[in-house]
């Protein structure tokens, strides 16, 4: 089966679950090509990445222009919705061109480009919407009101989250929670992580700058009072915003969160879904400061299952007390370990690949084609 996967790093946490699923399909023998922006250049070469920076950069520029042209008093979620609506419209025609060139049998798309995928496939191709983060409930903000119709139009929806974490809301037959879909760019841990000493704490903020770098100096100051070592990852943010580092802290642009969390007793995070899923998978309790977008909902779900304490971004003075409580109270670590055992009993990538293959076969039968078509290049694999 020929698969076209859309992997746009500018979507933040949208990228990683798509790449994880694409790698799973590649390893099953399907021929995967990956449409990327420049920021996604780290996509593994076996996924045949090709970059169309002009397409994505132009769409982002026009999205920002559309949002900026709105009434400055408009709510933030309304401005974000206008941004995403414009980006999807601008990407749509370019994506149609790539579909013509690649001639895929199946398309895999991230949630934030679901509108472009729905219109570019135009009912002629099956496609999977990979929902990396958002939950749909009765109270939808403007971004989710824009995105929600595409859940119904997708052939398959894969939710990269855990059913118990998500609250178990009933889903339509073509939507499935498969568990977290992880992929990280190749990176080794710094050598100092392996040295003997106190346990580690990870302080992790968004890979897309959103102002949450303010968490870092306050978290480091609070953790300086505890017998722990700390790694803070700040991504593209200005390193000076972290302030003067305490003796027990290190600052990095990026480290493998999954690898570090295997050695950690706490994570302090902006409540991005990907980071929280890694904490859940690793059995690490959390202090979460939801900064915006989907993060308040993610944090609320983590708190509900007993693995996290929430601090509001307007109440950062409460961060030291929250850190003290999570490190001191064993109930957080105990809950995290219980959920780790439960969630690690699953194989999310395999489950997602099964669902894609099943939906492709079902679609092929409806359209009168051979199930899971393969060309000569595929057969050689």
Q: Are residues 164 and 269 part of one domain?
A: no
**379 pLDDT more than 50:** no
Asked if residue 376 belongs to a domain, the reply is no
| pLDDT tier, 381 (very low <50, low <70, confident <90, very high otherwise) | very low
Helix axes of 15-27 and 348-367: crossing angle, nearest 10 degrees: 70
Residue with tokens 């980071």: 275
Residue 243's pLDDT is what?
86
Asked if residue 380 belongs to a domain, the reply is no
Q: Are residues 210 and 339 part of one domain?
A: yes
342-356 average pLDDT score: 94
- Distance of alpha carbon 252 from its chain centroid, rounded? 20
pLDDT in tens, 110-139: 999 999 999 999 888 999 999 987 666 545
Q: Are residues 305 and 161 part of one domain?
A: no
Give the separation between CA 238 and CA 209, rounded to whole angstroms.
Answer: 10
Q: Are residues 90 and 164 part of one domain?
A: yes
| pLDDT tier, 209 (very low <50, low <70, confident <90, very high otherwise) | low
Q: Are residues 172 and 202 part of one domain?
A: no
Q: Are residues 143 and 83 part of one domain?
A: yes
Higher pLDDT, 292 or 246: 246
**311 pLDDT more than 50:** yes
pLDDT > 70: percent of the chain: 93
| pLDDT tier, 98 (very low <50, low <70, confident <90, very high otherwise) | very high
Give the separation between CA 206 and CA 212, rounded to whole angstroms.
Answer: 7
List residues bridging with 232 in a β-sheet.
203, 251
Average predicted confidence (pLDDT) for the chain: 89
Residue 365's pLDDT is what?
76
Give the separation between CA 69 and CA 62, rounded to whole angstroms.
Answer: 10
**11 pLDDT more than 70:** no
DSSP-based three-state secondary structure for 133? coil
pLDDT > 90: percent of the chain: 64
Within 13 Å and on the Cβ side, how many CA atoms surround 201?
27
Asked if residue 7 belongs to a domain, the reply is yes
364-380 average pLDDT score: 57
**380 pLDDT more than 50:** no
57-75 average pLDDT score: 92
Residue with tokens 């780290």: 42
Residue 310's pLDDT is what?
96
Residue 2's pLDDT is what?
96
CB 32 within 8 A of CB 47: yes
214-232 average pLDDT score: 94
Residues in CB range of 226: below 8 A, 6 or more apart: 201, 323, 327
Give the separation between CA 168 and CA 155, rounded to whole angstroms.
Answer: 21
**211 pLDDT more than 90:** no
**217 pLDDT more than 70:** yes
Higher pLDDT, 160 or 242: 160
Asked if residue 379 belongs to a domain, the reply is no
Q: What is the CATH number of the domain that holds 360?
A: 3.40.50.2000
Strand ranges for 17-70 from DSSP E: 31-36, 49-51
Asked if residue 261 belongs to a domain, the reply is yes
48-63 average pLDDT score: 94
CB 289 within 8 A of CB 314: no
Q: How far is CA 91 from CA 7, 70, 108, 221, 373, in A?
A: 13, 21, 15, 44, 27
Residue 376's pLDDT is what?
44
Helix and strand numbers, DSSP H then E, in the chain: 14, 13
Sheet with 2-7, side-by-side order of all strands? 49-51, 31-36, 2-7, 106-110, 127-131, 156-159, 175-177
Higher pLDDT, 271 or 351: 351
Q: Are residues 165 and 26 part of one domain?
A: yes
Q: Are residues 109 and 47 part of one domain?
A: yes
Residue 169's pLDDT is what?
81
CB 197 within 8 A of CB 248: no
Rounded to two decimals, what is the model's pTM? 0.89
DSSP secondary structure code for residue 160 in this structure? -
Residue 231's pLDDT is what?
95
Give the separation between CA 257 and CA 204, rounded to whole angstroms.
Answer: 8
Asked if residue 308 belongs to a domain, the reply is yes
**What is the biggest distance separating any 2 CA atoms in the chain, rounded to whole angstroms?**
67
**54 pLDDT more than 70:** yes
CB 336 within 8 A of CB 279: yes
Q: Are residues 202 and 259 part of one domain?
A: yes
Q: Are residues 130 and 255 part of one domain?
A: no
Structural domain harbouring 12: 2-179+347-371
Which among 379, 19, 311 has a CA at the least distance from the CA of 183? 19
Give the separation between CA 222 and CA 244, rounded to whole angstroms.
Answer: 13
Asked if residue 172 belongs to a domain, the reply is yes
How many separate domains does the chain show? 2
Asked if residue 378 belongs to a domain, the reply is no
Residue with tokens 């079902």: 362
**40 pLDDT more than 80:** no
CB 115 within 8 A of CB 146: yes
Say if residue 112 is exposed, middle or buried (CB neighbours under 10 Å; 0-12, 13-18, 19+).
buried
Give the separation between CA 243 and CA 239, rounded to whole angstroms.
Answer: 8
Q: Are residues 205 and 319 part of one domain?
A: yes
Q: Are residues 200 and 297 part of one domain?
A: yes
């Amino acid at each position: 089966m020929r698969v076209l996967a859309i992997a746009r790093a500018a979507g933040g946490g949208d990228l990683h679950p798509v790449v994880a699923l694409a790698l799973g399909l590649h390893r099953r023998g399907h021929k995967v090509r990956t449409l990327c922006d420049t920021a996604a250049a780290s996509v593994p070469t076996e996924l045949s990445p090709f970059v169309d920076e002009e397409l994505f950069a132009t769409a982002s520029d026009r999205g920002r222009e559309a949002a900026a042209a709105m009434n400055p008093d408009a709510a933030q979620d309304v401005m974000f919705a206008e941004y995403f609506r414009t980006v999807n419209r601008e990407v749509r025609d370019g994506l149609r061109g790539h579909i013509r060139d690649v001639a895929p049998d199946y398309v895999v798309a991230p949630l934030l480009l679901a509108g472009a995928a729905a219109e570019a496939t135009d009912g002629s191709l099956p496609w999977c919407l990979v929902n990396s983060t958002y939950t749909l409930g009765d109270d939808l903000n403007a971004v989710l009101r824009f995105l929600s119709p595409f859940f119904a139009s997708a052939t398959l929806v894969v939710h990269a989250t855990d059913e118990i974490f998500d609250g178990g809301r009933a889903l339509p037959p073509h939507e499935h929670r498969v568990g977290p879909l992880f992929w990280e760019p190749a990176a080794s841990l710094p050598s100092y992580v392996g040295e003997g000493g106190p346990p580690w704490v990870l302080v992790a903020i968004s890979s897309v700058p959103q102002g949450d770098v303010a968490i870092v100096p306050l978290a480091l100051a609070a953790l300086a009072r505890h017998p722990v070592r700390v790694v803070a990852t700040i991504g593209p943010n200005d390193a000076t915003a972290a302030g003067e580092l305490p003796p027990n802290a290190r600052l990095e642009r990026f480290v493998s969160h999954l690898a570090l969390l295997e050695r950690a007793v706490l994570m302090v995070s902006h409540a991005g879904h990907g980071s929280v899923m890694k904490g859940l998978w690793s059995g690490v309790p959390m202090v979460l400061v939801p900064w915006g977008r989907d993060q308040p909902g993610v944090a609320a779900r983590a708190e509900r299952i007993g693995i996290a304490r929430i601090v509001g971004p307007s109440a950062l003075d409460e961060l030291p007390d929250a850190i003290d409580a999570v490190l001191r109270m064993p109930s957080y670590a105990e809950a995290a370990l219980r959920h780790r055992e439960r969630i690690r009993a699953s194989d999310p990538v395999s489950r997602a690949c099964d669902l894609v293959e099943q939906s492709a076969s079902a679609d092929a039968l409806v359209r009168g084609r051979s199930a899971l078509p393969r060309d000569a290049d595929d057969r050689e694999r």
